[in-house]
Structure 1
Amino acid sequence: MDVIGVGALNIDFLYKVDEILPSEGETFIREFSMSFGGSAANTIVGLSRLGKKVGMVGCVGNDREGKEMLEDFKKERVDISGIDITNHRTGYALCFIDRDGKRAIYVYAGANDKVKLEKKIEYLNKAKFVHFSSFIGKYPFNEQKKLINRLKVKLSFSPGSIYARKGLDSILPIIQRSYVVFLNREEIKRLTGKGYVEGAKKMLESGASIVAVTLGREGCYIASKRGCFRVEGFSAEVVDTTGAGDAFAAGFLYGLLEGKDLYSCGRIGNWVASLCIREIGARKGLPSKEMLEEFL
């Protein structure tokens, strides 16, 4: 197994609107769709499409949505033996996307709060990488922190806005154990109180081996103890930025698994993300292995 993801499993309800309202008001829904989501899950599907062997650890409900999600994972060639089924409702996220591709997300945890990570350690240690993303609830977050001391493999970590809001001290045990941490400009500012250059330096000082900061149209910034540099992005018509960071992580991890240098990892990550944002939803635009081979 190349990578196993650990994170929330959600149904994403996607609404394209004229504008995202700051407070009370009314606006039109121009388009509606439903897709499967969860940050780590999106990254895992992205890696599978690029030809990597992947699995997922999480929890879904014993309901129609949970069953459909598991079937979709099977179609995407994701191993689901690490996913538990509970009588609680499958988690979901309401995603509102405006005309500029900016978004607002509201999350219902549901079955995600019932995940039993301590039972998955043997399974997780079969991978080359374990990839963490966020849970909304306190229980699974604490379970993740307990799990890191028992992992014998490399850890990658996408805190997302949910964990960034917890503050650096709260997620520091995971940062210290991480081989690579994925953040966007806003998340690293929230965690460190600094811009992405100084913020990445602080994350390295906190224990991460590699820090990859996504910068939207500007590409990404990669920091490690060997050096720091920016990798230019690819031009793309932005339809929806949902899952862009997850797509970047998939491309970057692919590069690491292939033994590529960090610049190449960042370039692949930028390319995968640029395709993702051309479609609505986190997974529709994710490229295939054949597309990547042509790009490389």
Structure 2
Amino acid sequence: MTVGESVIVAIGNALLDITASGSKELLDRYGLNANNSIMAEEEHLPLFEELSNNNCPVVYSPGGGSQNTIRMAQWILAEPKSCVFFGCIGRDKFGQIIQKQMEELGVHANYLIEKDHPTGTCASIVTGNERSLVANLAAANCYKKDHLMKPENWDHVEKSKLIYVAGFHLTVAPDAIVALGRHAAEKNKIFSFNLSAPYLCEDCMDQILSVMPFVDYLFGNETDFASFGKEQNMGTEDLKEIALKTAVLRKENTKRQRTVIITRGHLPTLVAYDGVVTEYPVKAVDKEDIVDTNGAGDCFVGGFLSQLVQGKDIRDCILIANYCASYIIQKSGVTFDEKPNLPQIVVALCFYVFHLSIIALNTLRYSIKYERSNIPRC
């Protein structure tokens, strides 16, 4: 099936992931801990150049939540320029690396070039089976709505069938996100959003609530939704109830009911729609085959959207989503082979067919549907 150009548009933080082997001495020198994640402070900034200039092998790959998702969707669709990405990078070698790799994958990337800040980076220092992550958003924090609204850029939005935003961008350009959501509602296009992290639910609820009325497909993991339910005073820790209550929060586009998708690692994925929560099993990956779980959630969404934009049903969307997540956790960073492994997808399909009866048994049908209401304001 030919999908055409600019069918999926995403906006988000454009980062360059720098993955390299390190040592305890390196971690100690920068005050880092293994298996931890921090935002870079002034004393960490030389680390990025040091990693890129040392004699050890370094893997560069575009990173950031939305950018990971759009790359996975593009890889699955395999049709040049079917996916479009907006973000901000610096005028430097790291920005050039991002641009080159996005172009090679076939993504139509439209970057605002920031003169006064370097390209955002995330260092991933591997020591044994552990990773220490250090993120420096830099230019990624400088994206402006004005760039999106330029006629040559907004034209891609007009052509799109589906729009995606990760929650991380709420701290950068919430006005741009609202503009995209309003466009989707007015044109009856699909608008999808990711809660992305528990701290966003705690610190950025007003921004989330400004976007929520436009959201047709809402993604997140169990900790994201647990935090959302708590901050919204839903009075329950049951993820299924939280999903159902979230699904019926106020919507601008009443032609589409909201679908809520909650990933839970190796546990079944929860999908809430029309008062029903369905559990979709996840094909387990052998522990010894797991290399890096960073980006699994982003790539799950990329696989899902690649099928949704083609009009596939929810089961097919979840099938490819789980394939993409299991594929990426067996790679170092969000990196891709030349083409998707079709035999692996067939195996995954057989797994799902085998579990259809189990899915039916695990579907929880709630007799009480929550009435639609205005989103509560904190």
Would you call these one fold, judging by a TM-score over 0.5? yes
Give the Cα–Cα distance (whole angstroms) in 1 for the partners of residues 71 and 302 of structure 2.
8
Structure-2 residue corresponding to 1:225: 274
Q: In structure 1, give the amino acid aligned to 2:265.
A: G
Deviation at 1:241, TM superposition (A): 0.8
1:62 aligns with 2:62: no
One-letter code aligned to 2:9 = I
The whole-number CA distance in structure 2 between the counterparts of 1:263 and 1:111 is 38
CA contact (8 A) 2:35 2:132 kept: no
Give the match's secondary structure for 1:260. coil
Does the C-alpha gap of structure 1 residues 139 and 167 become closer, same or farther in structure 2, counting only changes over 3 Å?
Answer: closer
- Total equivalences in the alignment: 292
Map of 2:218 onto structure 1: 181
CA distance in 1, matches of 2:182, 2:35: 48
Contact 2:145 2:175 (8 Å CA) reproduced? no
Say whether 1:13 aligns with 2:56: no
- The answer for the alignment partner of 1:50 in structure 2 is 76
> Structure 1 residue 157 and structure 2 residue 193: aligned?
yes
Alpha-carbon deviations, 1:174-227, whole Å to 9, x = none?
222111011001111111123421221222122471111111011311111152
Post-superposition Cα deviations, 1:88-130, rounded to whole Å, max 9, x if no partner, equal 21111234668777x6644322112222334243321211111
2:317 aligned to which of 265, 286, 291: 265
Question: TM-score, normalising length from structure 2?
Answer: 0.68
1:176-255 → structure 2 map (5 Å cutoff): 176-193=213-230, 194-207=237-250, 209-225=258-274, 227-236=276-285, 237-255=289-307
**Percent sequence identity over aligned pairs:** 22
Paired with 2:21 and 2:279, the residues of 1 have a C-alpha distance of 32
Equivalent position to 2:137, from 109, 124, 127: 109
Where does the alignment leave 5 or more consecutive residues of structure 1 unmatched?
none
- Measured after TM superposition, the shift of residue 269 of structure 1 is 0.9
Normalising by structure 1, we get a TM-score of: 0.85
Distance 1:197 1:246, change over 3 A: same
Q: Distance in 2 between matches of 1:186 and 1:98?
A: 27
Q: C-alpha displacement at 1:276, in angstroms?
A: 0.8
For the aligned residue pairs, the C-alpha RMSD in angstroms reads: 3.2
Larger radius of gyration: 2
What runs of 5+ residues in structure 2 fail to find an aligned partner?
1-5, 37-55, 231-236, 252-257, 350-378
Partner of 1:276: 328
